[in-house]
Amino acid sequence: MTATLVQPSNPALRDPAWTGRLFWFIALLILLAPALVATEFRPWILLEPENLKVSSKFLADFFPPQTNTEFLLLIAKEAWRTIAIATAGTFLALVLAIPMTLISTRVLSISSLSGRMHLLPFAVRQVIRWILIILRSVPELIWALVFVRVVGLGPAAGVLAIGLTYSGMLGKVYTEILESGEHHVATNLMRNGSSRLQAFFYGVLPQNSTELTSYTVYRWECAIRASAVLGFVGAGGLGQQLDNSMRMFNGGEVATILIVFMLLVGLADLLSAWLRKVMQ
Amino acid sequence: MAQKGHAMMNSQANPWFRWNCSVCWVTLGLVLLTILSFWTLDLQLGRLFSVDSAKRMGRFLGELLSPDLRAIFLHKLWIAGLETLATSAVGTILAALFGLLLAIPASKSHANDPAHWRFLCRLVLNGLRSIPELVWAALILISAGLGPFAGTLALALHTTGVLGRLFSESIENAPQGAAQALRVQGVSESQVFLYATLPTIIPQLMSYTLYRWENNIRAAAVLGVVGGGGLGQMLAFHMGLFQMQETSSILIAIILLVVLVDTMSYIARRLMSR
């Protein structure tokens, strides 16, 4: 079909945007060059005979995966620990986030009912907001490293790490959800002399409860993914087992753990989607 | 909905618990799960809230407040920060390329597209995506050795899965007008993709890629902890040697980087949505 058409020899006639594309392609290459140097980007070292031998041996070990009963039981236990760390961490995050949300949300401000918010409540709200920002801007893995130092190896460090990071995220998103809704009911209640907690329970919570629960369930799903990884720094769960097996170059065990890991994440994904549907 | 109708029919009593109330059962399940979690975890809460642990925490925090600010160390920190940024950038660009390459066969671009490779490519993408960057990094260390290259590859593999899936969804949801017009003229599928589908979805692909880059900067700062180069590797190194002043400045650098990226993306989004 196209063979019968006469193709103009000048590329600019064939493709009007040709010069622009060429420019951006070259610009990208020039920008990328120093980055490639900085990341020591040398793919060919993967193909060096020595490396190739080690990695192919490791990969060949993947099959068959380790299925001995004792090991499977151990993995089942670690998988449960992963879920438990995520659940306990999310619970801790909730316990920390709810009071901070209640303090920091502008909807429940009594002084702003009549004009601008007073200076002291404004300052308190800003302080809480900054605390939330700090809590969530330290990645959970870093929190875990710190807590492993302070409370020792084990699940406690994982629970604390997830609890702190996620309380920052939950607190921020809860505040945003509450502030994006309709405020009339809450303001009316407070104008008529109800307390702030009453205004929250009768005016703010009912219209936002679905959104709040569905975000919490989504975070729980993320927490499962995170807690599986936290084991790498010694906070218990599947990650720790994976780290051990990898240090011993035991491909079969690594394969089993990876499969269990993918199943766990997939299951959490399905369960959280189902829960969010039921909670509607 | 059904429950509401039921409650309205026998309007006399509104019991606070009904056997067919799914929300109650789910709530009960979640409460049980939480209790079981705390019960089985052996958190040693006694030790956690002991005076000894409080002392250690206090000492740790005290040490964190005296960061190492020598010029020579700050220079090393700057280099590691750049390495983290470069890792995230290269990883994301590689992922965008490979993600697009996998997304094309993974999507059913029009109603008569047989899409033979769809299932296989989706499987590969899901596999890549469900293993976190950190696990990829630990796996790749075996063949690539310690350093930013392993981190870059790890980021690239995980992000390929994420971007590939997003890209294939946007290819499938792309407006069909221009593509159909070319297709009825007998233009080949690859040309239809290059001249009709790709130009219509490229803004969306760019915004997905930028969003992932933002995530990857944060991930790259952490990847080093298992040996993927950058700030994380420095952190693991100095923390392992109990050099608390250095650890403190690295922690501050990581927090600054994350806050900076968050602020930039917030400002960019504000500017673009205006």
Task: Say whether pLDDT at A209 is over 50.
Answer: yes
| B interface test, pick of A21, A31, A40 with most B CB neighbours within 10 Å | A40
Mean pLDDT, range A169-184, rounded to an integer: 90
Task: Say whether pLDDT at B9 is over 60.
Answer: no
Mean pLDDT, range B192-204, rounded to an integer: 89
* Predicted local confidence at residue B14, as pLDDT: 61
Show the beta-strand stretches assigned E in chain B: none
Task: Say whether pLDDT at B94 is over 90.
Answer: yes
> Residue length, chain A?
280
CA torsion B34-B39-B43-B49 (nearest 10°) is 90
Residue ranges and CATH numbers for the domains of chain B are 69-273 (1.10.3720.10)
* Predicted local confidence at residue B2, as pLDDT: 46
Q: Under a CB-based contact definition with an 8 Å cutoff, are residues A190 and A113 in contact?
A: yes
* Predicted local confidence at residue B113, as pLDDT: 81
Counting other chains too, the contacts that B81-84 makes at CB distance below 8 Å and 24 or more residues apart are B81/B230, B81/B231, B81/B253, B81/B257, B82/A38, B83/A38, B83/A39, B83/B148, B83/B229, B83/B230, B83/B231, B84/B217, B84/B220, B84/B221, B84/B224, B84/B229, B84/B230, B84/B231, B84/B232, B84/B257
Chain A residues whose beta carbon lies within 8 Å of the beta carbon of residue B93: 28, 32
pLDDT single digits (tens) A244-276: 888 888 888 899 999 998 888 888 888 888 888
Q: Where is average pLDDT lowest: A7-16, A181-190, B167-176?
A: A7-16
Mean pLDDT, range B48-72, rounded to an integer: 81
Q: Under a CB-based contact definition with an 8 Å cutoff, are residues B192 and B234 in contact?
A: no
Share of chain A above pLDDT 90, in %: 26
Residue B242, amino acid = F
What pTM value is reported for the model?
0.83
Chain B residues whose beta carbon lies within 8 Å of the beta carbon of residue A51: 143-145
DSSP run (H or E) holding A47: none
Q: Under a CB-based contact definition with an 8 Å cutoff, are residues B162 and B175 in contact?
A: no
pLDDT single digits (tens) A54-82: 888 888 888 888 888 899 999 999 999 99
pLDDT single digits (tens) A105-114: 888 888 888 8
- Which string of b and e fits B250-273 if b means at least 16 CB within 10 Å? bbebbbebbeebbeebeeeeeeee
pLDDT single digits (tens) A128-171: 999 998 888 888 888 888 888 888 888 888 999 999 999 999 99
Task: Say whether pLDDT at A229 is over 50.
Answer: yes
* Predicted local confidence at residue B90, as pLDDT: 92
A38:B132 CB<8 A:
no
Residue B153, token pair as written in the block: 């590859």
CATH architecture for the domain at A69-278: Orthogonal Bundle (1.10)
Task: Say whether pLDDT at B190 is over 70.
Answer: yes
Mean pLDDT, range A114-134, rounded to an integer: 88
Mean pLDDT, range A229-242, rounded to an integer: 86
* pLDDT band with cut points at 50, 70 and 90 for residue A100: very high
* pLDDT band with cut points at 50, 70 and 90 for residue B16: low
Residue A91, token pair as written in the block: 């619970």
How many other β-carbons are positioned within 10 Å of the β-carbon of residue B120?
12
**Residue B183 CA: distances (Å) to CA of A177, A185, B109:** 46, 56, 12
A36:B43 CB<8 A:
no
pLDDT single digits (tens) B226-274: 888 889 889 888 888 888 888 889 988 988 888 888 888 888 878 877 6
| A interface test, pick of B23, B24, B43, B250 with most A CB neighbours within 10 Å | B43
- The overall average pLDDT reported for chain B is 85
* Predicted local confidence at residue B12, as pLDDT: 53
* Residue partners of A58: CB distance under 8 A and separation at least 6: A249, A251, B142, B143
Mean pLDDT, range B85-106, rounded to an integer: 93
A2:B188 CB<8 A:
yes
* Predicted local confidence at residue A87, as pLDDT: 94
CA angle A120, A197, A102 (to 5 degrees): 55
CA distance linking residue A204 with residue A198, whole number of Å? 9
Chain A residues whose beta carbon lies within 8 Å of the beta carbon of residue B26: 275, 278-279
* Predicted local confidence at residue A276, as pLDDT: 80
- The overall average pLDDT reported for chain A is 86
CA angle A167, A171, A175 (to 5 degrees): 175
Task: Say whether pLDDT at B120 is over 60.
Answer: yes
Task: Say whether pLDDT at B5 is over 50.
Answer: no
- Angle at which helix B198-223 crosses helix B133-144, to 10 degrees, equals 70
